[in-house]
Amino acid sequence: MATAISIKNVHKVYAKGTHALKNFSLDINSGEFFALLGPNGGGKSTLINIIAGPTKKTSGTIKICGLDIDTHREETKFMIGVVPQEVNFDSFFNVNEVLTQCSGYYGIKNNQKYIDEILEKLNLQEKKFANTRALSGGMKRRLLIAKALVHKPKVLILDEPTAGVDVELRHNLWNYMRQLNKDGLTILLTTHYLEEAESLCKRTAIIDNGSVVAIDDTKKLIKSLGNYKEMTLNFKDKIGKIPAHLEEFKARKISDYDLSLTFEPKELNKVLTAIKDLNPSDIELQSQSLEDVFIELTYKTNKKSDG
């Protein structure tokens, strides 16, 4: 299968020393709908801004459909449509004018029919002649998506496209992106939301602290993330120091009287043995939520690099 986006050993160190991408490598196949999932500050926008152009990488190679973005800047710009995270329209033009101008930038003329089609799919047709300054945040974001599509790119890169978009429109947007992907567009999407990755993307990578910490089929990834049990032990007396032998179960105090343990289901017997002599007054067992596991996973890698 052809590779649509190939990222190899990319480093980015910002002027003030933040090492935002660390030896980052990732290959996205042609026709894929791929999610890059990660917490705030993980490096998602840095990566996208490097692919899009405004940010320069410190080292490494990026290729779009086999062409190096450094040596084939113009060609690769035509191949990609990028929706940046920051929405900033500062023009006196209306929606239609913005899209016509943007087409002109790519040397495309007389594409009103296509522009109308995009506007309709993005539920923006009623705003066709509205000044961009008069759009709501969610509308501006959808206009950014329209802008990224006017030149019919092969690869669409979206930086948190649904942030600030309400639930109903979010689902419309998801459907539209699904359709674009079905029609052959390769899509790379960044998001904070596991749900979004799960609903749209066959494969997902988790980026944290500038590196890929996990990559897999989205369903498998989520299954492996979510396969944890959490046990809460309640005690009549205040908990003192956490017994050392509970460390392997990630023991932590959640209050003066409650202790939480996290472990894989197969470790249940081991845990029961470990807590035998503690005499808790109550025990609760539940499956850890996916969101919790995700936070824990990324928190762990952050801690590792801070220490």
The item of ligand ATP, Mg ion, none sharing an interface with residue 46, based on CB under 5 to 8 Å by kind, is ligand ATP
Q: Does 85 bind ligand ATP (CB under 6 A)?
A: yes
Minimum CB–partner distance for residue 208 and Mg ion (Å):
13
By CB under 6 A, tell whether 302 contacts ligand ATP: no
Using the CB atoms, write b or e for 236-250: b if 16+ within 10 Å. Answer: eeebeeeeeebeebe
46 binds Mg ion (CB under 5 A): no
Distance (Å, whole) CA 131 – CA 297: 44
Q: Of 41-49, 99-107, 172-180, 198-206, which part binds ligand ATP (CB under 6 A)? A: 41-49
- Using CB under 5 A as the binding rule, whether residue 45 contacts Mg ion is answered as yes
Cα 32 from chain centroid?
15
Question: Is 42 near ligand ATP (CB under 6 A)?
Answer: yes
CA atoms of 307 and 304, how far apart (whole Å): 6
Where in 48-87 is the site for Mg ion (CB under 5 A)?
85
By CB under 6 A, residue 38 contacts ligand ATP = yes
Angle (CA) 20-41-194 rounded to 5° is 120
Interface with ligand ATP (CB under 6 A), residue from 1, 40, 113, 277: 40
Give the SS3 label for residue 259.
strand
CA distance 251 to 239: 12
Q: Which does 81 bind (CB under 5 to 8 A by kind): Mg ion, ligand ATP, none?
A: none
Q: Are 204 and 37 in contact (CB under 8 A)?
A: yes
The CB-of-84 to Mg ion minimum distance in angstroms stands at 9
| By CB under 6 A, residue 84 contacts ligand ATP | no
φ, ψ (nearest 5 deg) of residue 207: -110, 135
The reply on whether position 105 binds ligand ATP by CB under 6 A is no
- The tokens describing 185, both together, are 């567009």
In this complex, which beta carbon is closest to ligand ATP, that of residue 148 or of residue 150? 148
Q: Which residues bind Mg ion (CB under 5 A)?
A: 44-45, 85
